[in-house]
Amino acid sequence: MANEPLDTDLMEHLRGARRPVVLTGAGMSAESGVPTFREAQSGLWARFDPVELATPEAFERHPQRVLDWYAWRREQVAKARPHAGHQALARWEAACAALVIVTQNVDGLHQRAGSRNVVELHGRIDRDRCHHCGERAETPARVCAQCGGPLRPDVVWFGEMLPEPALRRALGAVSEADLVLSVGTSTLVQPAASLPAEALAAGVPVVEINPEPTSLKGRTLYRLRGKAAEWLPRLVAIACD
């Protein structure tokens, strides 16, 4: 629970952090009203497995089904608002300019809360790009102006490469970090899941915020059971005040 006493070593790591990195996953957006990736299957979508919809093969076989699923999720993202945890991270960045947020989320909620130094590993749900040539679409359309290929959400599906500049920035930030927070991620999906694991292997303190256990383990891991919107304001108050 977010009101339990904190380890004194952890409080020192928070106060002393000069180059913190915060890795966020779908659980970070849950309290903003965006279902976690593995829960994005209620109502009409209950019989589909999100892991099977988020693939190039699913789009090639059933383009309209995949586009309809994304249209449903875009509506949820449009209605969502950043919560106290997003705002706390934006405050931390304002007080400690070297903070880097590395997010697997595609909803833009960190930027809407005021964070600037955000690395987006899995793209953005509110943009389209061509499935064939990758050109970004400026206006809503079904096909790409450059090559006539089908437009699709500008996100990274299973089996696709992450954008190289984003992955490079994330790896660079983690290699220089003196503290890593892993918030609201199951740490199952690679290569993002390897980021906190690499920090742990290098002896960097890692704080995990998650109501559920994950497989992350290491001598310098601090596990905080609970929700992002409850824990982050408390941790940032310790780091910045």
* Residue 179 burial class via C-beta count within 10 angstroms: exposed 0-12, middle 13-18, buried 19 and up: buried
d(CA 125, CA 49): 18
The tokens describing 219, both together, are 């001598």
Residue numbers of the site for ligand BJW (CB under 6 A)? 25-27, 30-31, 36-38, 54, 104, 106, 122, 155-162, 184-186, 188-191, 209-212, 214, 227-228
Q: Chain centroid to CA 19: how far? A: 19
Closest CB to ligand BJW among residues 218, 226: 226
Amino acid at 28: M
Closest CB to ligand BJW among residues 15, 217: 217
d(CA 56, CA 60): 6
d(CA 185, CA 143): 34
Closest CB to ligand BJW among residues 211, 218: 211
Catalytic residue among 13, 83, 122, 131: 122
122 is catalytic: yes
The tokens describing 124, both together, are 């953005």
101 close to 236: Cβ distance less than 8 angstroms? no
What residues are annotated to the active site?
122
